[in-house]
Structure 1
Amino acid sequence: MAEDLQIVKGNKAEQYTSLLPQIKGLLEGETDLVANMANVAAALKEQFGWLWVGFYLVKEDELVLGPFQGPVACTRIRKNRGVCGSSWAQARTLIVPDVEAFPGHIACSSLSKSEIVVPIIRNGEVTAILDVDSEHLAHFDVTDQQYLEEIVALIV
């Protein structure tokens, strides 16, 4: 298990490339889902300094707030509601350059300007989602999608 996170400067791909083996080290041998989500959220927040990084877990047909880093958040989100609920319903990553332009956006924080939501799919079902918010417009792109999808695939 890694004890210290090495923060790397550089372009986005270089940062993810450095972070990915460190996340693998954090998760290695740990089977507790909450512990793994907590460490992934912390590692991503430390590396990128995003406004909010966290997980929602599918429980009783709702998304329920899980481990996160950042300001307080919405506790429960229904399917098809906002970016998170839409990603869950569609079982695909959503990149939203301007959350104000997203129909039905749920404003948990007025500071959030753009968002990426990545579903965690196990046995063909979405079991959780990774939600990342930025205070900058159009902050996320296909590079984020590629690496964040790779990262969530590591979570047990």
Structure 2
Amino acid sequence: MACMYPATSSSPEILYPYIEKELIKLLGSETNWISNAANAASTLGFLMPMLNWAGFYLYDGSELILGPFWGKPAVTRIQIGKGVCGDSAKLRKTIVVEDVHQYPGHIACDLFSNSEIVIPLVKNNQLIGVLDIDSPEIGRFQEDDRIALEKIATIMLDHIDFPTIV
């Protein structure tokens, strides 16, 4: 079992490579997708500064269903094309929202969330779901976060055997 400690710096150049190494160590020895997804969400929530939610919404063939997460309880189902998660899934594109209160159709789970980044999880051209990360800080996510989190999502897709729609 991996025993992680907070990174010594919140600088993206130090933080994200540290998270990548921790995830590879943590996910490499386990095969259960639920355990791996839960640990991945918890790792992000524990190691990234200024977050209040990190987790997965998984595509069931018609909508996104809440998966393993770190944070307060959340909306259970999200329609494709609705809110930030649904838009990211529909477009298969990462969406960074500086201020969620300005995003048309934003789905509020936690009144303290002010910014959000959602990375689509696509494997073999198939939508698996999205990685959703929220922060209480307006403007928390920048371009360096997007690049690093897209790489981390790829690591997760390589190490977590998410269920797929047949």
TM-score by length of structure 2 reads: 0.89
2:19 is the counterpart of 1:42 = no
Give me the whole-angstrom Cα distance separating, in 2, the residues matched to 1:90 and 1:66.
20
Q: 2:64 — aligned with what? A: 63
Q: 1:25 — aligned with what? A: 25
Give me the whole-angstrom Cα distance separating, in 2, the residues matched to 1:123 and 1:135.
34
Deviations 1:17-67 (A, max 9, x none): 112111100111323222111111111111124100000000131100000
Q: 1:139 — aligned with what? A: 140
Secondary structure in 1 aligned to 2:122?
strand
After the TM superposition, which of the residue ranges 5-14 and 73-82 deviates more from structure 2?
5-14
2:112 is the counterpart of 1:105 = no
The one-letter amino acid of 2:31's match is T
Q: 2:2 — aligned with what? A: 3
Secondary structure in 2 aligned to 1:54?
strand
Deviations 1:73-98 (A, max 9, x none): 00000000000000000001000000
Give me the whole-angstrom Cα distance separating, in 2, the residues matched to 1:33 and 1:154.
13
Flag structure 1 segments of 5+ consecutive residues without an equivalent: none
After the TM superposition, which of the residue ranges 128-137 and 13-22 deviates more from structure 2?
13-22
- How many residues align? The count is 155
Give me the whole-angstrom Cα distance separating, in 1, the residues matched to 2:142 and 2:131.
15
The one-letter amino acid of 1:109's match is D
1:141 deviates by 1.1
The one-letter amino acid of 1:87's match is S
Give me the whole-angstrom Cα distance separating, in 1, the residues matched to 2:6 and 2:145.
17
Q: 1:149 — aligned with what? A: 150
Percent sequence identity over aligned pairs? 37
Flag structure 2 segments of 5+ consecutive residues without an equivalent: 161-166
CA contact (8 A) 2:2 2:25 kept: no
Q: 1:92 — aligned with what? A: 93
Secondary structure in 2 aligned to 1:77?
strand
